[in-house]
């Protein structure tokens, strides 16, 4: 019975590699995302930012991509953009103290946490998981990665997104409720962080819908732009 099943597992075992600015490749192990890390965005989503500890969700590793064309996903009529600073972890860590957390950052990128907002809204209402709202194909576009040493201090960088030439989101990483070190420390108390883990660190206010044909440019100061078209 079982011997009648022939799976070609060699075609399943692969690593999703993304490019660094210098041409090297970074193998993506896992993708974690922080929810509601900018007060004004938390309020626009109906939350109360001053009362919430950081919380996390994840996307499949192969959602990370550097494609110039992002397919509009199925099963939604409300695809939202969330521009975020992305941290790429370079070394294993568990229970990382805040004082040591920045040492675990290997590189930075600009990312967009694409979200099926309609599915997320229903999931929240019904107390269901967010996976299908957040973790679909192509749901984590990222720019080329830049080594942390070349970026330096990332605690006060302008962050924004422009759609068809119009600014949609614009803020600064100094507006994060939980800073990068606190995020890494908190996450490392939930899972063992590993080299290859990407962390999307939360979006500022101004999230909104994307439709087919939209030209998207996501920016964080000191980092390469992330540009794609929704097709
Ligand atoms: Mn997000």
Q: 170-208 pLDDT, tens per residue?
A: 999 999 999 999 999 999 999 999 999 999 999 999 999
Do 110 and 160 contact (CB within 8 A), yes or no?
no
Range of the domain at 89: 5-230
Which residues keep their CB under 5 angstroms from ion ligand 1? 82, 113, 203
Please give the structure tokens belonging to residue 17: 């590699």
**Backbone φ, ψ for residue 34 (5° rounding):** -95, 135
Do 177 and 37 contact (CB within 8 A), yes or no?
yes
Paired residues of 170 in beta bridges: 160
| Residue 82 CA to ligand 1 centre (angstroms) | 6
Cα–Cα nearest to 103, from 111, 91, 94: 91
The pLDDT score that the predictor gives to residue 113 is 98
The pLDDT score that the predictor gives to residue 45 is 87
| Residue 209 CA to ligand 1 centre (angstroms) | 14
| Residue 85 CA to ligand 1 centre (angstroms) | 10
Do 92 and 194 contact (CB within 8 A), yes or no?
yes
Cα(61)–Cα(101) distance, integer angstroms: 22
Do 116 and 133 contact (CB within 8 A), yes or no?
yes
The pLDDT score that the predictor gives to residue 4 is 65
Paired residues of 32 in beta bridges: 58, 199
Paired residues of 28 in beta bridges: 16
| Residues in the chain with pLDDT values less than 50 | 1
Query: What is the number of structural domains in the chain?
Result: 1
| Residue 9 CA to ligand 1 centre (angstroms) | 33
| Residue 155 CA to ligand 1 centre (angstroms) | 18
**pTM score, two decimals?**
0.94
Paired residues of 145 in beta bridges: 20
The pLDDT score that the predictor gives to residue 76 is 98
Domain with residue 109: its CATH number is: 3.90.850.10
The pLDDT score that the predictor gives to residue 49 is 79
| Residue 3 CA to ligand 1 centre (angstroms) | 44
Q: Which residues contact 113 (CB under 8 A, 6 or more apart)?
A: 33, 82, 84, 134, 139, 140, 200, 203
């Amino acid at each position: 019975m079982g011997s009648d099943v022939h799976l070609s597992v060699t075609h399943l075992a692969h690593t999703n590699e993304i490019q660094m600015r210098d041409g090297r490749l970074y193998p993506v192990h896992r993708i974690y995302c922080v929810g509601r890390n900018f007060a004004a965005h938390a309020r626009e989503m109906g939350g109360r930012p001053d009362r919430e500890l950081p919380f996390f969700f994840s996307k499949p590793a192969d959602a990370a991509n550097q494609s110039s064309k992002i397919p509009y996903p199925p099963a939604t009529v409300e695809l939202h953009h969330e521009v975020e600073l992305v941290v790429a972890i370079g070394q294993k860590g568990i229970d990382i103290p805040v004082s040591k957390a920045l040492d675990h950052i290997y590189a930075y990128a600009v990312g967009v946490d694409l979200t099926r907002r309609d599915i997320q809204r229903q999931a929240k209402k019904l107390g269901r998981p967010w996976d299908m709202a957040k973790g679909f194909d192509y749901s984590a576009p990222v720019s080329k990665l830049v080594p942390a040493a070349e970026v330096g201090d990332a605690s006060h960088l302008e962050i924004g997104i422009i759609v068809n030439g119009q600014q949609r989101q614009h803020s600064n990483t100094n507006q994060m409720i939980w800073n990068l070190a606190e995020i890494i420390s908190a996450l490392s108390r939930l899972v063992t962080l590993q080299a290859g883990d990407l962390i999307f660190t939360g979006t500022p206010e101004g999230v909104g819908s994307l439709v087919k044909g939209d030209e998207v440019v996501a920016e964080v100061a000191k980092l390469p732009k992330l540009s794609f078209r929704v097709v």
